[in-house]
Amino acid sequence: MELHFEELLGQITDFIKSEAKTETVVGDAFDLGEFKCVPVIRVGMGFGSGGGEGTESKSRKGQGVGAGAGVGIEPIGFLVTKGDEISFLAAGKTRGLAALFEKVPDMIESFAKTRSKQEEEAV
């Protein structure tokens, strides 16, 4: 029994090329008002194979082979453009310090509005 690893790897790679596309996972790019939104995905894959043979006696010989592959596909966000500006909008929940840093601009704006309002009331 012979394992044609290169042929198998080629077939798996072709499958991933045809299926692991943003269009098949999330959908096509779309317009939202003045914004153009392009979905972005993350693809991870792993491959493994093994084989062996053995002889117990002159009449008892054996061999075996095996192979496996795994693919993970995850939508991670959108590239968003408006005119000549481009930014990345992450999908899902952010955790830890990254979540805090994402909220800093909103917190500063809220603080500035509150302070401005307090100054107006004081006058």
Taking only the tens place, the pLDDT of each residue in 87-113 is 888 887 666 555 655 666 776 777 788
29 with 87, same domain? yes
Q: Would you write out the chain's pLDDT as a tens digit for each of its 123 residues?
A: 455 767 877 887 788 777 777 777 677 888 888 888 888 888 888 878 788 888 888 888 888 888 777 778 888 888 889 888 888 888 876 665 556 556 667 767 777 888 888 888 877
Looking at the fold, whether 25 and 81 belong to one and the same domain comes out as yes
Do 99 and 53 lie in one domain? The reply is no
Domain range for 76 is 5-92
Task: Based on the fold, state whether residues 98 and 43 are members of the same structural domain.
Answer: no
Burial class from Cβ neighbours inside 10 Å (0-12, 13-18, 19+) for residue 118 reads exposed
Question: What pLDDT does residue 95 have?
Answer: 61
Give me the sheet containing 35-55, strands edge to edge.
Answer: 30-32, 35-55, 61-82, 85-90
